[in-house]
Structure 1
Amino acid sequence: MKHTLYLALVVLLASFTTPKETVTLSGKITNTEDGKIKLRGEGFEKEIKLNADGTFSETFSIDYQGFYLLSTKNNRGGVYLGQGTKLNIAADDKNFSGTLLYTGKGSAENKYMLEKSKIVMAVSNEELYKLDEVPFLKKIADMKTAITAVYKSTKFSDAYFKEKEAQNIAYLEQLQLINYPSYHTHYAKIQDFKASESFPKFDASINLDNEADFLFSNTYKQIVEAKFNEGIASKAGEDAEYIAAFAVPEIKKIKSTAIKNARIQNVAYEVGAGNPNAASLYNELMALSTDTKFKDDLTAKFNKIKTLISGNASPKFEYENFKGGKTTLESLKGKYVYIDVWATWCGPCRREIPSLQKVEEDYHGKNIEFVSLSIDAKKDYDKWRKFVEEKKLGGIQLIADNDWNSKFVTDYAIEGIPRFILIDPNGNIVSADAPRPSDPKLIEKFKELGI
């Protein structure tokens, strides 16, 4: 009995003391905006400060062999980190993809991924998904053949990568099959399109709870997310405003820690100012997650949204006005203020514009101001101005000073756009998550307030 207990203890300790992989990243990235690069993975985040000339060298531990997101303020891309990686990265941030160069241990794997990416990106989503079924399947088969040829001609130094990538190529094909019906509907503009009976079905034998594949493959991650969301959508129905009640029971069934944490993070956006069940959802997600940083961030967000209740003073803003100068929330006191937080790149935001213009027209001259606050990045400043001018956008057009990290945006804990906010004539919150212009509930609210 004693020997059995001792052996169990040894196994238990070993599970907590498995040594992490140590990797070295070095190189030179010039012309960054803030002199930093960030590395993110599942439950992992690291910031590397660049020297004045853009050089850097860091040795650190990683939790798993697989793909991480390497980003500057203006660019991002995947990087594979495996056992004993000593990777040198060189790039000019003003032309990141065009100048990116890998050398050192791990370079063969990352160069392969660049070549694979070029094959995939050679055809735009619009070109690919506009195709009818037969030419679409032919294009996917050609893509798979081209990638396989590069795979076979590459001399990999990492046996784990070589093994996993063979399966990953098959996952890419499966992802395209999943995407085709909805993407073809959008790009071919065929409403209610359904694939034919002969169109290949998703391979139901694929294990959607595979931790190793999830950590290795971004494509597999997308498959897992797509199939999970598909299942939840079928349970929740089209009219469900919140899906957490359907998602959380399914999340509890997931065995993989990384996949479970990822699904938790996806549903955490519903811990928001407009959700009446935000507190109970917060408590449930905190109990389920094992990701310490996520839990810290979610707690900070929850504490913030608790202050965004009706009647509380609204966070303030002072941002550049399209017509010149700056506009403050304070300067709009005496009227209701309906704020649209949006960006030129946001499809759902753009779809709300005609409805917003109609509401603005109907309420012209009444006791309300309409403010559109763009969170476009600084590099898209001219794009924003051109868009406002070409679309003849009305109301008060502002642009935030630091996109998602602008203070007004973080004060309102905004994680997705479009987001609409309604503030009363005294500068107090009416709704931190107001109805969209296309929602009849908005006009009902205006009538209730006597606007």
Structure 2
Amino acid sequence: MKKIFILIAVLTVISCANKQKTENREYIVLSGKIENQKAAKISIINNDFTKEISLNAEGIFTDTLRVDTGYYSLYHDRTNATLFLTKGEELKITTDATKFIDSMRFEGKDATSNKFLVDKVLRNRGKDPVAIFSQEEGEFIKTMSDIRDVTSQKLKEATDLDEAFIAFEKKNIKYAHLINLSRYPQYYPYYSKNENYKPSETFMAYFKNIEYDNEEDFKIYENFRQLARQHYSKKLNPFEDVKGSVATIKNLKSQVLKNTLAQELAFFISPSGKDADYLYTALSEISTNEKFKKELTKKYTDIQKLKAGKDSPTFDYENHKGGTTSLADLQGKYVYIDVWATWCGPCIAEIPSLKKVEKDYHNKNINFVSISIDALKDHDKWKKMVTDKELGGVQLMADKAWQSQFVTDYVIDGIPRFILIDPNGKIVNADAPRPSDKKLIELFDELKI
């Protein structure tokens, strides 16, 4: 009997020691294996946190994450899944890259929580977004409410979930419902072809009492981050009121939200932007993200080289018709450049307008050049789209996608991007109007092209 008591005491000490070790641990241990891996790494991402973890030849990985409890996105190649990670715990993941979500299995304290998240994705898979967003407003609200209610009921019925996860997931379900509702005013007119739709007061009431300036929820919930960014993007108007947009960000309580919106506003620091100097100074003062501020300073410094009258960066890229074409080959005429990609919806939307401009200025003092920044693996896709859509002008493909020298020299961080160069290779406008913008023709007329 004495030996039994001693054994129980020893086991109790070990159990307490292990519990204390877990509670004191300031990191999460993430490990696992990805069968049939499609890339040499995975990425764990949440708001301003990103960590890449290498896979060995067998797809095995292990690493520590110094992060707080919450939701994180796991990326592998072009697939991703949402994880719930608890600070101080260990989670082991096994899956097959060819059936990424379907084959996911978990071990560890958060295994059941993560299985709940996978089951939620599988349960909602196959729902037709076109059919859902084509519904009339009342029917759409009911559909979204039904989806929310099923998930809430599953959460309520679960008997093996951690109480902390349940608390997190209740909010997550609420924000998922709200972000789905918020997309309706934009998607419904497009899918239903009813351009006259305006959301009712009943519909808009869903968004009245949301505290968007909420740092804690912004850091934890991706759905809330989307809601907040969507909300403030409507309040920011850098094209017409730069100072008002900056003031809106400055007045926020959440520094994390300030940092995020400052990064979004930085997109408007461009070679042709008249407020570039003001924006650079203001955003540098607002943000506490040192990495962002370093990148912002580099961008601001680089665009100084892209002022009108400066020598244009050059290119020498593969021509769809064969061989290569350089900027020097085109000197003697103005050159209007469209930087695009086959996967870029807004780029493709400009094609009809670009074709019209090309037709109207055929045989005039201007060359039209389209430079694709598709990845090398999509080379055949680029060639096919140029042929199928009968794209005119000079069709080129950059050698290193986003990292191509011409792209980085022009500080291109979003496409489509249009550039106008004069017959002597000097920059006219490093951020020229789009073909669909009447200001382009006004610019051509001013230059007597």
TM interval, shorter chain, is 0.7 to 0.9
Specify the alignment match of 2:5 in structure 1: none
* TM-aligned CA distance change 1:88 to 1:413, over 3 Å: farther
2:137 to 126, 133, 142: 133
Q: Give 5+ residue unaligned stretches, structure 1.
A: 1-18
One-letter code aligned to 1:143: I
**1:401 is paired with a residue of what secondary structure?**
coil
**2:418 is paired with a residue of what secondary structure?**
strand
User: Within the alignment, does 1:221 sit opposite 2:219 as a pair?
Assistant: no
Specify the alignment match of 1:398 in structure 2: 396
Counterpart-to-counterpart distance in 2, 1:32 and 1:365: 52
One-letter code aligned to 1:362: D
* TM-aligned CA distance change 1:199 to 1:211, over 3 Å: closer
Specify the alignment match of 1:313 in structure 2: 311
User: 1:123, CA displacement in angstroms?
Assistant: 2.2
Specify the alignment match of 1:56 in structure 2: 61
1:248-327 equivalences under 5 Å are 248-327=246-325
- Give CA-to-partner distance per residue, 1:323-351, whole Å, 9 cap, x none: 23333333323332211112233232222
Q: Quick check: 347-356 or 53-62, which moved more?
A: 53-62
One-letter code aligned to 2:325: T
* TM-aligned CA distance change 1:413 to 1:98, over 3 Å: farther
Counterpart-to-counterpart distance in 2, 1:259 and 1:138: 32
**1:241 is paired with a residue of what secondary structure?**
coil
* TM-aligned CA distance change 1:20 to 1:336, over 3 Å: farther
Counterpart-to-counterpart distance in 2, 1:71 and 1:313: 41
Counterpart-to-counterpart distance in 2, 1:249 and 1:55: 48
**2:306 is paired with a residue of what secondary structure?**
coil
One-letter code aligned to 1:212: E
Counterpart-to-counterpart distance in 1, 2:221 and 2:240: 29
User: Within the alignment, does 1:25 sit opposite 2:30 as a pair?
Assistant: yes
1:71-82 equivalences under 5 Å are 71-82=75-86
Counterpart-to-counterpart distance in 2, 1:393 and 1:36: 37
- Give CA-to-partner distance per residue, 1:139-165, whole Å, 9 cap, x none: 112211222233234456654332121
1:2-401 equivalences under 5 Å are 21-29=26-34, 35-62=40-67, 64-93=68-97, 96-154=100-158, 158-199=162-203, 201-232=205-236, 236=237, 241-242=239-240, 244-401=242-399
* TM-aligned CA distance change 1:198 to 1:212, over 3 Å: closer
User: 1:131, CA displacement in angstroms?
Assistant: 0.9
- Give CA-to-partner distance per residue, 1:291-320, whole Å, 9 cap, x none: 121112212222221211122222233333
Specify the alignment match of 1:421 in structure 2: 419
Indicate the RMSD between aligned Cα atoms, in angstroms: 2.6
* TM-aligned CA distance change 1:300 to 1:47, over 3 Å: farther
Q: Quick check: 396-405 or 204-213, which moved more?
A: 396-405
* TM-aligned CA distance change 1:209 to 1:388, over 3 Å: same
Seq. identity, %: 44
Q: Quick check: 158-167 or 255-264, which moved more?
A: 158-167
- Give CA-to-partner distance per residue, 1:424-450, whole Å, 9 cap, x none: 223332211001111122122223333
Q: Give 5+ residue unaligned stretches, structure 2.
A: 1-23
* TM-aligned CA distance change 1:255 to 1:343, over 3 Å: same
User: 1:211, CA displacement in angstroms?
Assistant: 1.6
Q: Quick check: 160-169 or 396-405, which moved more?
A: 396-405
Q: In 2, are the aligned partners of 1:177 and 1:201 still within 8 Å (CA)?
A: no
* TM-aligned CA distance change 1:336 to 1:228, over 3 Å: same
**2:252 is paired with a residue of what secondary structure?**
coil
**2:385 is paired with a residue of what secondary structure?**
helix
Counterpart-to-counterpart distance in 2, 1:97 and 1:324: 42
One-letter code aligned to 1:267: L
**2:58 is paired with a residue of what secondary structure?**
coil
Q: TM-score, normalised by structure 2?
A: 0.86
Q: TM-score, normalised by structure 1?
A: 0.86
Counterpart-to-counterpart distance in 2, 1:41 and 1:167: 17
User: 1:290, CA displacement in angstroms?
Assistant: 1.1
Q: In 1, are the aligned partners of 2:214 and 2:254 still within 8 Å (CA)?
A: yes
Counterpart-to-counterpart distance in 2, 1:414 and 1:364: 28
Counterpart-to-counterpart distance in 2, 1:366 and 1:407: 29
Q: Quick check: 48-57 or 92-101, which moved more?
A: 92-101
